[in-house]
Amino acid sequence: MLFTLAAASLIRHRARTVLAILGVSVSAAMLLDMVMLSSGMRVSFGSLLTSQGYQLRLAPKGTLPFDTEATIKDGDAMVSQLLARPEVVAVSPVFGGQLYILTAHGVIASSALGVIPAVEADYELSSGRQPATANEMVANDALLAATGASLGDTVHVGSGFDSQLRTLTGERTLRIVGRARFIYMAREQKGAALPIETLRAMQGRDADGRVSLAMVRLVPGQDIESERAALERLFPRVTVISIAEALKQVDERRSYFTQLAVILGAVSLVVGFLLVTTLVTVSVNERIGEIAVMRAIGVHRWRIVAQIVLEASAMMLVASPVGLVLGLVTARYLNSILANFPGMPERIDFFYFQPSAAWTSLGLLALSGVLAGIYPSWRSASLPIAITLRQEAVG
């Protein structure tokens, strides 16, 4: 009975109901997008950091990994000390630099990572294999496309320029043995990885023993924070960053998007709420006489409140799935816009769908639907029956 009356009331004003559902759908879509945006980049970046199983990162003091060109002196000694610790399972040192590749059309510049292939955690091989000897390297699609090279080809590379002699410095001939996807590099960025010793040797004696970053994998169950503090005490010239700390830094940098998401999400919710409240209030005002009659024939006040709240909730609930689908489509579009941020790692998503985001949006909408119905329904159900009936009869 309750459902029938609520449905009848909604169907009686079709245009109004359809518009309300449409309006709430757009609000729901916006709300879902903003819930996804508020946590998306954090979750996406967090999963990126944890995917390779390294819990701590050591960078030059006061810097984030690869945020500056600074390097850690005596990095090899530091790696040996780290490996000697019983809490540490593996250490992956990385040395960053530039690679210049001579082609028939000129010189192509690329980012280069010097790694120990057995423990590296900066790229995933999509084909080929890891470098096994000093004169082998892997490259990403952007670099292979720019150079026109394929797996198995050899390339002539250098680590710098000698402008006066018009030659490359640190020259080597390397063979491309693998195609890689670099986890932290931007989509358009050209990248290569080669054995750390090769890249250091190309850069000259100043690079001996230096590392730009060292990633540390701990024994399972090890307290990460206490080990982080212990390593900072042990190595005063480095900053030890745990995943939690890295995410905190990400939070600071993406604060603009978080604030935008909170503001727009709140506005969407308020707009949806106001829309439904307005419609329900008008609808209830039109039916004051009908409600008074129901009360007069003995329908309980709470039943009337329940019917009107049900109407408001029904509008919200019908609109929510439409809004969620619309939200996913718009999130995809908005994500494709933000994916063009210069320097943004390819695998970072600003809008990251999690079931919890959908449930949060749905819950908020359902709650606002209930709240939107409570006031007008309570007001109408509380009107004096006799006076209302008389006023309605007189007109």
Residues lying near another protein in the complex (CB under 8 A)? 15-16, 19-20, 22-23, 26-27, 29-30, 60-63, 67-70, 73, 107, 160-163, 166, 206, 236-237, 252-253, 255-256, 264, 268, 271, 274-275, 278-279, 282, 330, 333-334, 337-338, 340-342
DSSP 356: H
DSSP 351: S
Distance, CA of 252 to CA of 351 (rounded, Å)? 17
Q: Which helix (H) or strand (E) holds 263?
A: helix 255-286
Q: Nearest approach, Cβ of 301 to another protein (angstroms)?
A: 26
Q: Nearest approach, Cβ of 146 to another protein (angstroms)?
A: 15
Q: Nearest approach, Cβ of 100 to another protein (angstroms)?
A: 8
- The nearer residue to another protein, 140 or 268, going by C-beta atoms, is 268
Q: Identify the residue whose tokens are 């993406």.
A: 254
Q: Nearest approach, Cβ of 343 to another protein (angstroms)?
A: 8
- The nearer residue to another protein, 183 or 338, going by C-beta atoms, is 338
State the amino acid at position 386 in one-letter form. Answer: A
- The nearer residue to another protein, 218 or 279, going by C-beta atoms, is 279
Distance, CA of 151 to CA of 179 (rounded, Å)? 7
- The nearer residue to another protein, 221 or 342, going by C-beta atoms, is 342
Q: Identify the residue whose tokens are 């701590």.
A: 56
> For the chain, where are the E strands, in sequence order?
56-60, 88-103, 106-115, 123-128, 136-139, 154-158, 160-162, 167-169, 172-182, 191-195, 213-218, 238-242
- The nearer residue to another protein, 23 or 131, going by C-beta atoms, is 23
Q: Nearest approach, Cβ of 212 to another protein (angstroms)?
A: 12
Do the bridges between strand 106-115 and strand 88-103 make them parallel or antiparallel, or are there none, so unpaired?
A: antiparallel
- The nearer residue to another protein, 52 or 98, going by C-beta atoms, is 98
- Residues 272, 367 contacting (CB under 8 angstroms): no
Q: Nearest approach, Cβ of 227 to another protein (angstroms)?
A: 21
